[in-house]
Amino acid sequence: MIIVLIGYMASGKTSLGKKLAEKLNYNFIDLDDFIEEKEKLSVSDIFKTKGEIYFRKQESFFLKELLNDNSNIILSVGGGTPCYSNNMQDILNADHVTSIYLKASISTLVKKLIKKKDKRPLIAHIETEEAMAEFIGKHLFERIPFYDQAETKVTIDDKTKDDIVEDIILELF
């Protein structure tokens, strides 16, 4: 089975995905890392040198490749992945694939992202928590219709990583 973790930046797709993979004895793949390995460029360098349209095409191509794998995989995808190129439908229509939306409130996301904004080019320019909340709110408004299509939703607010992993396992099995 392939378990695809979707959600906004800082919802824990990678960190929770690694913990979940370890607990279930699955392989863990981060789609952005997979793309970087295949393209021999970082995601930010792909954006800079080849543009977002090229990146989104490659993202969709490699997502389809991974969805056709028959291994047990926890797949963490980028926050925008479900919103482009019919990717969410590909996830939903793939055999032996289930999707989980790691749902976080705006306040939880602000708390997490304000500390890490320098590592995230999309939000590095945002100075205040109020501006961050406004940015996230607008972004989520656009993305939630895609995220909400996930077969399972797990809220992460005010929970430890171990508790969230347990919630995911309870939902799946």
| Burial bucket for residue 36 (CB in 10 Å: 0-12, 13-18, 19+) | middle
Rounded distance between C-alpha atoms, residue 8 and residue 150, angstroms? 13
| 56 annotated to a ligand binding site | yes
Rounded distance between C-alpha atoms, residue 78 and residue 150, angstroms? 14
Report yes or no: 58 and 35 within 8 Å, Cβ to Cβ: yes
| 11 annotated to a ligand binding site | yes
Query: Residue with structure tokens 């004895």?
Result: 25
CA atoms within 13 A on the CB side of 158: 1
| 17 annotated to a ligand binding site | no
| 143 annotated to a ligand binding site | yes
Rounded distance between C-alpha atoms, residue 94 and residue 70, angstroms? 11
Q: Could you tell me the two tokens for 14?
A: 């990678």
| 10 annotated to a ligand binding site | yes
Rounded distance between C-alpha atoms, residue 79 and residue 83, angstroms? 8
Which amino acids are annotated as binding site, given as ranges? Answer: 10-15, 32, 56, 79, 120, 143
List binding-site positions for ATP. Answer: 10-15, 120
Annotated binding site for substrate: 32, 56, 79, 143
Binding-site residue ranges for Mg(2+): 14
